[in-house]
Amino acid sequence: MIYLDYAAATPVRKEVLTAMQPYFTTIYANPSSLHHLGQEARLAVEEARSTIAVQLNCLPAEIIFTSGGTESINLALQGVTKGHIITSSIEHKAVLETCRMLQKKGYSVTYIQPNKQGLINPKDVGNAIRKNTRLISIMYANNEIGTIQPIQRIARIAKKHNILFHTDACQASPHLDLNVSKLDVDLLTLNSSKCYGPKGVGLLYLKKGVKLKPLIHGGAQEAGRRAGTENVPGIVGFSKALELAQKEKRETKRLTALRDWFISEIQRKINNVKLNGHKTKRLPGNINISFKGIDAQQLVQHLSSYGIYVSTGSACTSHEVEKSHVLENINAKEGVRISLGTSTTKRELQEVLTKLTMIVTALRKI
């Protein structure tokens, strides 16, 4: 098996699994319980919060644990929005569908178009600002084409106009700087499963002083901002995974070099291919590439038959293939997303290249 779909989900690291284990079988009490075992669980949650706060350079109280990126995004957009929203047309569906839902409720949303490389121009964001603009939400790095956005420049524009700025940083967590002071963001979303942590846990960074309306009602967990018993093993695992990921700068350099080598080899061995997204301003492990005359879904299925697991920019909904809104917005043909990770080796990619060349050649003859 050669797994090249790390942008969709990452395996849980052994160190992370080890850190989580006691909270499944030994310290399994409810962290809101007042007895000793409950307080041990509470301590684990708060230590994890503090560890993550160090990675983000924020206060522990500014972190709200959630069930994942989608919930965090919904909490950010629905929790602070009272007026006009500015976002981009290539955001994750969690942002786009939430904005569409808010539009049905009477909210106004402006969708900024990217250039052909998937970059958002900060000037376009500034030009879209209205008197009643309440929130700007632009993702840190795109989940399909890997393009890294000029978050700091957009944040400065938001701050100048006293507008809240949220960024979906789920794809950024394994490799990019998450220092919220440097990024100058008011809200930031992270997802554990994108940085070699467990699924089902995420967070929303909420800058001190920013008012938030809860999305889930019930108990007083997370300082009254997110009801529901905390996922103690998940939170502990998330903390460990993020801590390890943020320390591994060598891995970022390795994946960047491996990515660039693989792109050049694909372009050398196979003609009529196009790289989607920015050539250099992209995530270290992200490759999104279109092959002229080739159906991307079919290519993914053929690679899968050889035990090579990649994905497309498409999503399947109700058994129907939906075209990638990201690729449509940059005027690109359907593509294959190949995302590299900690286990990816050059030898594996050489094998993939051989199979990929063979499959594309065969499909073009049909």
Q: Are 198 and 55 in contact (CB under 8 A)?
A: no
CA neighbours within 13 Å on the CB side: how many for 93? 10
Among the listed residues 99, 170, 195, 316, the single catalytic one is: 316
Determine whether 170 is an active site residue.
no
Distance, CA of 175 to CA of 71 (rounded, Å): 22
What is the rounded distance in angstroms from the CA atom of residue 16 to the CA atom of residue 64?
20
Sheet arrangement for strand 63-66:
63-66, 202-206, 187-191, 164-168, 133-137, 84-88, 109-112
Q: Where would I find the H helices in the chain?
A: 14-20, 22-25, 36-56, 69-80, 93-104, 122-127, 151-160, 180-183, 221-224, 232-247, 249-269, 296-305, 325-329, 346-365
Q: Tell me whether strands 202-206 and 187-191 are parallel, antiparallel or unpaired.
A: antiparallel
Active site members: 316
